[in-house]
Chains A and B, each alone.
Chain A
Amino acid sequence: MTVTRRELLKGAALAGAAAALPAGLPGPATAQTTQKRELVVAQGGDIAHLDPHMSTSSNDIRISYNIFDNLTSRRPDGKLAPGLASEWKLQGQQAWAFKLRSGVKWHNGDPFTAADAKFSLERTYDPAAKTRVNTVFTTIERIEAPDPTTLIVHTKKPDPLLPARLGFYGGQIVPKKYLEAVGQEKFNQAPVGTGPVRFVSWTKDDKVVLDANADYWGGKPDFDRLIVRALPEMAPRVAALLKGEVDIATQLPPDQGERVKANASTTVAGALYGGLYVLAVNSKVKPLDNPLVKQALSLAIDRDVIIKELWRGRGVAPSGPIARGDNHFDPSLPPLAYNPKEARELLKKAGYKNEEIVIETTAGYMAGDKPMAEAVQAMWKDAGINGKVEIVEYSVRAQKNRDKSFKGLWWSDPTSTLRDPDGMMWRLLGPGGPQDYWRHAEWDELGNAARFSVDEKFRGEAYKKMTKIFLEHFPWIPVIQPYEDYGLQKYVEWNPDPLQQLEIRRFNFKFRRA
């Protein structure tokens, strides 16, 4: 870094002024603005892949969403906005037509065309490419690219959510010509996209360096360089923020919020998670096969206490299986009730004989998992439920998830990938889904009909009925919809994203300048 004499003098003057200020008074006003041209972000882990089709991990996606563009773009406000496609519409029941932007260039100067989009989507499910997102676009039958700015996607059945699917992982558009020329391995090391930042370097376990794309179709971002650092431990990550070494720090736990806010130059921004934290239930084992028992388990949980004490107020109590902010969320539904007396009565009616009910929890994989499990256990005890908490390691949980071998309940943080119930409860709880432990003929029929209907009114009615059935049977016991907090320097103007993306495009990121 070179420092001019003028800057040095200015710095010295400021230091003098700061020293003259008595402690406790706010620091110099310059802390709220900056002349920085470099944005430094700290996240909890390093990336593993730059090739966007090789990973679904949030650490990777924060970067790949910015090197690459999708055809559609899910904005931090939850709305679906144009991406590389400027508009789209249904053609009949089973085809979506996309109008693509013209004049967009890849970072290596090649022009972007519909052939790239067709290639990218087909690549996700091409067995030879061995991608890790090959289940995202299973509804697609075939894709046509009749001219450079038109893409027509034919689906096997009507797919109302195709534009939403295109906005999430798997939907990043990659360059056909470049990828075919250099091969998968080289592409992963030196990716070329159309996004607001271009790849410069990656020092593994340390940082990824990206430069602003001055020719970006959405406008050059408000920085020259983006550095994403991997700071795995929470305390050093917060320390780096407090000291001003990083501008945005991800995964800020609720108990650190006060500290970050108390610091003169930093603040906290949160987004209500686009999903829920639930206790998923193995409804195949006794006594959890009895809906009355599950209703009692839900009634015995005091969600307000969990939110207030464990989350410092950073969350809301869910009202059902649909996350606040999703399509078809019903704001008229009350939050899930707490009533230990009614819980006792239900247990009596169900003939509950003090059988042990196990919660298998990880310690620290999901925010607050272990303390929440212990709190729930204590609340259950007060309602006469014999709960037991067992701690399992993260990989053991993954294995149990795979084998569907959970003993009773376990924590799950279903993400609403499409901001629609289809992408959350139906994807996970539906027949053959990863959390298929409970079946209900009417519920299944409604879920299936809603998936393949392009009539939003019909879908809304179906999800209303499904919610009602859900609240009798509780295949999940929703506990909280938390805020996901980030620590920021006060000179950063940026809105966090409910789906853990790092949106730094011009419309969402600005350095506050003097």
Chain B
Amino acid sequence: MRTFLVFLASRAGRAVVALWLVSTVVFVVMRLSGDPTPLLLPPDAPRSEIFRLRTELGLDRPLPVQYAVFMGNLLRGDFGQSIRFKGPAIGVVVERLPATLELGLTSFGLAVLIAVPIGLLSAVYRNSPLDHAAMGVALIGQSAPTFFIGILFILVVSVKLGLLPTSGRGDWRNLLLPAVTLGLFGMASVARLTRSAVLEVLRADYIRTARAKGLAETLVIAKHTFKNAAIPIVTITGLQFGSLLAGAVVTETVFAWPGIGRLAIQAIYNRDYPVVQCVVLLSAALFVVVNLAIDAIYGLLDPRIRVR
């Protein structure tokens, strides 16, 4: 147990370094991309106005000073004031978080619940029509861009068939299309990876032994194959969580879903530095936490990883 805790502590240390790097990169990139003041004032605002606003926002100070202030505030949990909304940036972001979590977790759940069984069946019934069909769909899911799939769903399912609302947040009917759209890419990769991982294990000696000792095929699959194939599946699933956050940017824009993905896009367009920094850091933190959790699950799934 002690080694396991040491293992977790070292991972947590790395996570903190990763977050510091992310925050620095965001800080620098946002400053490189330009000044927000021209976007905030009407085009005929006089120069004195621009200087006043720059001073008000602290943009007239040297970059290292801005960085020191930014880091100092960050350590105290202060992300600064949103330039566009004139309120605390963290508040603006946290307000949108439930919407993104609702969408992200639903797609994540859909991806896992649908993709893992499909991948498993494809592997077990390898080269069957079911396998070909499933992998064909997975190929489309992985290669079609999210915005294309999203708009296609809206036009066919909502407008043509009139089954679901076109956009916005509301009850489960509003959730279904964006969740499937967002989950499709993840579903495809998880299904493909599950299939190859299971195929790999099915060729192992211990599976031959299990079959040789007369174990029923369902037991061979459930007990021996799946557990051993789980490590790569859990890994890819964890990584998928990251791409879900990235995909949320497009999906939320297409479906007018009021989450942090859409907020991030608007904040970037408006050069709303504090909000962009807050969204990126929060997403990075989420991603880091999920990966930490995955590391912990490894340890539980495979005791060999713990001692290493």
Given A204-B92, A232-B253, A395-B38, the answer on whether A54 and B159 have CB atoms closer than 8 Å is no
A230 within 8 A of B: yes
A133 to B45, CA, bound (A): 9
**Known contacts A395-B34, A428-B44, A434-B43: A204-B158 contact under CB 8 Å:** no
* Structural contact, A433 and B44, CB atoms closer than 8 A: yes
Interface residues on A, range: 35 or more
Inter-chain contact count A-B, CB under 8 Å? 110
* Chain A, residue nearest B167 (CB): A236
B215 surroundings in chain A (CB, below 8 A): none
Contact with A along B35-54 (1 / 0, CB 8 A): 10111111111100110000
Asked if B232 is an interface residue, CB under 8 A from chain A, the answer is: no
Pairwise interchain contact A135-B44, C-beta atoms closer than 8 A: yes
Q: Does B113 contact A (CB under 8 A)?
A: no
Most buried by B among A45, A46, A206: A206
Any A CB within 8 A of the CB of B165? yes
Find chain B residues with CB under 8 A from A206 CB. 168-169, 256, 258
Decide if A317 is an interface residue (CB 8 Å cutoff).
no
Q: Which residues of A contact B151 (CB under 8 A)?
A: 233, 235-236, 239
Q: Contact between B86 and A54 (Cβ–Cβ < 8 Å)?
A: yes
Contacts of B192 in A (CB 8 A): none
A240 touching B167 by the CB < 8 A rule? yes
From A193-201, A270-278, A397-405, A497-505, the one touching the partner chain is: A397-405
Known: A135-B44, A398-B39, A401-B38. A245 touches B87 (CB 8 A): no
B38 and A233 contacting across the interface, CB-CB below 8 Å: no
Contact of A48 with B84 at beta-carbon distance under 8 Å, contacts A230-B256, A239-B166, A427-B44 already known = yes
**Binary per-residue interface labels of chain B (43-86) against chain A in the complex, 1 for a CB within 8 Å, 0 otherwise:** 11110011000001000000000000000000000000000111
Q: Which of A201-230 contact B (CB under 8 A)?
A: 203-207, 229-230
* Complex contacts, B155 vs chain A, CB 8 Å: 235, 239
State which of B84, B253, B263, B271 has its C-beta within 8 Å of the C-beta of A233.
B253
- How large, as a class, is the contact surface on chain B? 35 or more
Chain B contacts of A205 at CB under 8 A?
96, 256, 258-259, 262-263, 266
Contact A239 B258 (CB under 8 A): no
Give the chain B neighbours of A428 by CB distance below 8 A: 43-44
Please encode chain A, from 39 to 50, with 1 for each CB lying within 8 Å of some chain B CB and 0 for all others. Answer: 000000110110
Residues of chain B in range 91-142 having any CB-CB distance to chain A below 8 Å: 92, 95-96
Question: Would you call B254 an interface residue if the criterion is a C-beta within 8 Å of the partner chain's C-beta atoms?
Answer: yes
A432 surroundings in chain B (CB, below 8 A): 46
Interface on B for A, CB 8 Å cutoff?
33-35, 37-46, 49-50, 56, 84-87, 92, 95-96, 151, 154-155, 158-159, 162, 165-169, 253-256, 258-259, 262-263, 266, 269, 271
Q: 13 A-B pairs, CB-CB below 8 angstroms?
A: A130-B56, A132-B41, A135-B44, A135-B45, A203-B258, A205-B259, A205-B266, A229-B168, A235-B151, A235-B154, A239-B158, A243-B166, A402-B50
